[in-house]
Amino acid sequence: MSGTASTPKRARVRGQKDKANSGPVAEVARELVRLFRRHHLSYDQTKHAVEQARRELGLKAPRERQRTVARLDRGEVERLIDHAYRRAPRYGLMVKTLFYTGARVPGVAATAGK
């Protein structure tokens, strides 16, 4: 990717498409900020205003949002833990700890090394 001097290099944001139509959205956000400030709206009032605007436009939330991360279902987690225990009880305990506590790999690895 070659950038020109006039185009600033931006960090890639996870979950955002490269060709996102964010220009008009940023413009609308700036306009909303201006309106909210002019009318001295609180958080709850801004939330209510946006909800009312959605109703007037007939906008509805998507039925189901796509997950940003592919997750294992309960059966897959159990099979993974069983496989790790069969390989070595220590591995099974580490994998089970990761899944059921939400611990991160570096934290468990540091603890396992002691």
Confidence band of 1 (pLDDT split at 50, 70, 90): very low
Tell me the pLDDT tens digit for each residue of 32-86. 999 999 999 999 999 999 999 999 999 988 877 676 777 788 899 899 999 999 9
Predicted TM-score (pTM) of this structure: 0.40
CA distance 57 to 35: 19
Residue 36 φ/ψ region, left for φ over 0, alpha for ψ in the -120 to 50 degree band, beta for the rest: alpha
Question: At residue 95, does pLDDT exceed 50?
Answer: yes
The mean predicted confidence, pLDDT, of the chain is 81
The pLDDT assigned to 2 comes to 47
Tell me the pLDDT tens digit for each residue of 13-29. 555 555 556 778 889 99
Q: Supply the DSSP symbol for 105.
A: H
Torsion sign across C-alpha atoms 75, 76, 79, 85: negative
